Structure 1
Amino acid sequence: MQANGLAPVQVWREKIYSGGWKTAEAGVLEVTEKATGERMGAIGCASPADVSLAAAMARDAQRAWSATPGPQRGDVLREVARLIREHREEIALQIVRETGSIRPKGHAEVELAIREILEAAALASQPTGMITTSDVKGRHSVARRIPLGVVGVITPWNSPFLLAARAIAPALATGNAVLLKPDPQSPVCGGAIYAQLFAAAGLPEGLFHVLPGGVQTGDALVRDPLVNMISFTGSTQVGKQIGAVAGGLLKRVNLELGGKNPYIVLDDADVEAAASAGAWGSFLHQGQICMSAGRHLVHERIAEAYIASLVRRAKALKVGDPFKGDFHIGPIVNERQAANVERIVADSVSKGAKILAGGSRDGLFFAPTVMVDVAPGMPVFEEEIFGPVAAVTVVKSDDEAVSLANQTGYGLVAAVVSADLRRAQRVADRLHAGIVHINDQTVVHEVFGPMGGLGLSGNGHNYSTLTNADQFTEWQWMTSRDDVPAYPF
């Protein structure tokens, strides 16, 4: 790390990080600015052979790391957090350019990542076991946590810096080595920057590897026999494939996948406050968040006022290149995704939905869109959109809202807005979701609450201060006696 900053272009140019920066066997990946398509550089693309070599190196380095006292492992993570604070502005701007996020979202991602890393550092100082009881006199019995070994982390492009931190940091804190495969659309802010940070913080060589690449790279990581766990955040389609392979290898796998998240607004809600929260939940980061509000289920008594407020807010949002100005909405990540949002909107209109705001795009810039008369069976009701679209369905009762909210195979996040907390709690208790918020929107991220989904949204294994120790360690039962007892054989 250089005195004047991270200087990523000088360090990661056309390389992977695996025992230092080195040439990758599979060539390079282009790194682009999403708003303009401008080439920012290139990074190495890891081959299956690169993955295999990295896994072997990581396994060897992990043995010494697991023997390092926990507080000393935590010190390395605390230094990483300090370095991120020192370079927060350049990291945030790299996120903005590489993912198309607006500046406030880039800065928030950096701050949330710092918190994830600091809480993981604290985990390294926590008790690692307990004395258990035994019904045999003279038998000393303990249960202790031991590292899994080598953890493979596969992250998406939408919040790459944050979602890498929440897996890398607790994995290292608990004594594991890490192989990180960032998404090929965000390999610098999702990977190369972390390589620089951990190297500068004094992490022993060989423990952390950054292996950018596509399907072949990810498949090699999942299948490698030296990789003991896979942590994957991404689409349900890919998550199913990873889960099938990892399950067949009896390998631990943590999947946080897509969502079609309901945002329920009851008839006693503050309409303006609810519409503001709903707009944030659907339009933040162009709706390209697994926790985005995918369906607004609004009581008929306030639906007209709510829709009017939502439309007004959507029309007031400014769309443009977030690196060049203060905009609310940046670009969709690529043409394929933008075309898919367009398809979902057009097909839903053909089935009876109406557009009251937006509905069109200029290249990758999709106008914030409000759709009404949305019903089950329409793509905008059924499919994860990953675009800035607020789909409104009017309901007649709390029961109908719950029924429609649960009419999906997903189960990531749900939210309920009401002036009556008891009523809201009764609704919340009936929702099928790994995360439920009352009087808030769906896009809420904290390290303290378990983050994970049910059904098609994941396997229910969560990231949080409450659950990270369970995620990244194994329980080992150990007994001892002063002498070998006599047995009848």
Structure 2
Amino acid sequence: MPVDGERTWPDAAEWTGKIYSEGWRTAEGGTSPVIEPATGEPLARVGMASPADVERAGARAARAAPEWAAAAASERVDVLMRAGHALRERSGVVRAWIVRESGGVPAKGDYEITAGLDQLQHAIGLASQPLGEVLAPRVPGGTSLAWRVPLGVVGVITPWNAPLLFAMRALAPALALGNAALLKPDPLTPVSGGVLVAELFREAGLPEGVLHVLPGDAATGRAVAADRHVAMVSFTGSTAVGREVARIAGEGLKRVSLELGGKNSIVVLEDADVEAAATAGAMSSFGYQGQACVAAGRHLVHADVVEAYTEALVRQARALPVGDPRVEGMALGPVISERQAARIERIVGESVAAGARALTGGSREGLFYPPTVLDRVDRSMPAFHEEIFGPVAPVIPFRGEDEAVEIANDTAYGLTAAVHSRSVPRATALAQRLRTGMVHINDVSAKDAANAPFGGMGVSGNASRIGGTASLEQFTQWRWMTAPGRL
């Protein structure tokens, strides 16, 4: 069935049941339905790429990559600029697909569009960055040069929770710097994370063969990671799957960029603005149903203000309506799938059985899980250790800063955190003791920016970063050349 706002773009008759590889073509892996989580209704049917489809796409991308790399930077910039223009022009349709396919409210769709545009705009700037250095030659009168060259073909494997944004976050810099790409969107969101991306770049005039969009399951992802033409894999998703991607890619000695999960803390000191901290906490734990790697999975609150903070957090949670995201005024939509809903239910249920208390929420209706605040949470409980990926806020009191740091760092993850205090120097000093790749003062834990090196420590990644000038490192490699005289 057509998604709200869809007219003639994208032309469903052209892409239904197909993959994008030099135009829309029949997939050897068959087809799969796209189901709306809020209603259970089928929205579309997409092609599922088989390993053979991936192999053909990889070979074609490898043939297209040298010509794209040799194109003038201005030509690549023009393509990205036109893609951004197309995204603005098609924003209504894109938003509607994100809402219905991922279960996010319209504001979530707007965020992805705005952030996707930011990624395109920043990548445009990357294309004009200095790409090399003139080195001091060892031989008098000689030449020694080093410069960055594209990797060739980049494999991009994206999750369902921010499908458009995560596609653009890797594709925009990769393409701007002269690489071809294989994009494997998640089978739960293959339209907003794949079909629309293909159509935007096709409309922008990206040469055929440079981008291939290959929806599929785990077998498709393994094929992308293993393909002999793929020089680098950019993966965003769970730590468990990230380990498998790294293992497969490692067999081919490929570069791997892993952006994985998190068990992120908001630390609230006794001198914090409690209402402001609770607002940031609610946004961090409940935004997009908590289905984000940067969501707050722990609220560490000083014992002197924990009661006031918890009351404020509960009040805000109860004020957030849950329902069909297309209905005006809804704050939370459904979680993405029955599997995800059951996971949230298990973690909360086991934690409550072990002594935690659900002050609000704590049970679901179908895929609709209300904002849930847990107190009396201790370290023996799943709500303390596991990444919930749902709208659940476990509150844990502490007495001093050392204890807060120790609790926050009691996890194998290390993605992001936030610290709240009326004293910015004090919050900053504590933030520097947290073992996370990102940290925010008097703000939410869930932040992103196209010009920032996004990534985590521990099992939240493999120390890679994407965004800002870090993307230059990720999507190019060095070449060194010498000559006995001046060039």
- In the superposition, the TM-score normalised over structure 1's length comes to 0.97
Deviation, structure 1 residue 74: 0.9
Q: Secondary structure at the match of 1:146?
A: strand
Distance in 1 between residues matched to 2:161 and 2:60, nearest whole Å: 30
1:180 aligned residue (183, 190, 209): 183
- Tell me the residue number matched to 2:247: 244
Q: Secondary structure at the match of 2:459?
A: helix
2:424 aligned residue (415, 421, 425): 421
Q: Compared with structure 1, are the counterparts of its residues 232 and 3 closer, same or farther at alpha carbon in structure 2 (3 Å cutoff)? A: closer
- Tell me the residue number matched to 1:465: 468
What are the equivalent positions in structure 2 for 1:319-338 lying under 5 Å apart? 319-338=322-341
What are the equivalent positions in structure 2 for 1:2-401 lying under 5 Å apart? 6-401=9-404
Contact conserved, 1:24 with 1:50, CA < 8 A, in 2? yes
Percent identity of the aligned residues?
52
Distance in 2 between residues matched to 1:326 and 1:49, nearest whole Å: 46
Which of 79-88 and 460-469 deviates more?
Answer: 460-469
Deviation per CA, 1:89-119, whole angstroms, max 9, x where unpaired?
1101110100000110111110110010111
Q: Secondary structure at the match of 2:469?
A: coil
Distance in 1 between residues matched to 2:92 and 2:151, nearest whole Å: 35
Which of 402-411 and 433-442 deviates more?
Answer: 433-442
- Tell me the residue number matched to 1:487: none
Distance in 2 between residues matched to 1:119 and 1:90, nearest whole Å: 24
Q: What amino acid does structure 1 have at the position aligned with 2:145? A: V
Runs of 4+ with deviation above 4 angstroms: 2-5
Deviation, structure 1 residue 8: 4.7
Gaps of 5+ in 2: none
Q: What amino acid does structure 2 have at the position aligned with 1:363? A: G
Distance in 2 between residues matched to 1:6 and 1:232, nearest whole Å: 29
Contact conserved, 1:341 with 1:386, CA < 8 A, in 2? yes
RMSD (CA atoms): 1.3
Distance in 2 between residues matched to 1:4 and 1:85, nearest whole Å: 16
Q: What amino acid does structure 1 have at the position aligned with 2:94? A: I
- Tell me the residue number matched to 2:405: 402
Deviation per CA, 1:332-381, whole angstroms, max 9, x where unpaired?
10001101100000100111111100001000000110000111121001
Distance in 2 between residues matched to 1:208 and 1:145, nearest whole Å: 21
Q: Compared with structure 1, are the counterparts of its residues 3 and 273 closer, same or farther at alpha carbon in structure 2 (3 Å cutoff)? A: closer
Distance in 2 between residues matched to 1:260 and 1:339, nearest whole Å: 19
Contact conserved, 1:34 with 1:97, CA < 8 A, in 2? yes
Gaps of 5+ in 1: 484-489
Distance in 2 between residues matched to 1:3 and 1:429, nearest whole Å: 48
Q: Secondary structure at the match of 1:184?
A: coil
Contact conserved, 1:402 with 1:430, CA < 8 A, in 2? yes
Distance in 1 between residues matched to 2:14 and 2:416, nearest whole Å: 39
